[in-house]
Structure 1
């Protein structure tokens, strides 16, 4: 009789264990599905709030218009965009982008002579544009 009770209690404990195991697995799956749905909704909401990301689609400094980059006939090395830098003699798109990249990496130019540290801008090009350069 006692052996029979022992076997029944073993089955009972096994049944409880299996039901707990299966029940928690079902709960975990339901939780995962609900979380994924919530995460997708949150990502969609974030995308609506942020709008299109123009910083990754184009260079911020090349696209940013500047109100004081060109004063009179001087071009500000610290504020001019690529289009404004290209108005300098001998400066095309590549050199304008190099000036902007140098400015982004090293900070603002302290003197107009510092522009000669940019690759492709030598003493001759600097001398041609010295009168038109400003900070």
Structure 2
């Protein structure tokens, strides 16, 4: 009765501990053997994981991974785009440009009549109502 008090255990905890120790001794359960088995299983699992990692890295080559993107950059392809010639385009042709309606097309033709032919496509920005943003949208469609 004094042993549980000395160990700081209740009588129920003491009985459970003593019975557990007797069960281990009588049944021949070896705790270190269980730990060794756990270690062996862990090492086997770790070797399998490393082998899988090597297989995955072998499949990935620098050439293969460089072909994949999270997002592809936008590319403007002008091969199928009809070019509009600023010096000879009609009102209808000028209206094919993005953001150019009848009024702006008339302003371009009027500018051409007053100043003569365009010397560069950048000169289009001198026409009233056509700014840098509108010019940038249509730059790839313009020609002299």
TM-score normalised by the shorter chain: which range applies?
Answer: 0.3 to 0.5
- TM-score normalized by the length of structure 1: 0.47
- The structure where helix makes up a greater share of residues is 1
In terms of Rg, which structure is larger?
A: 2
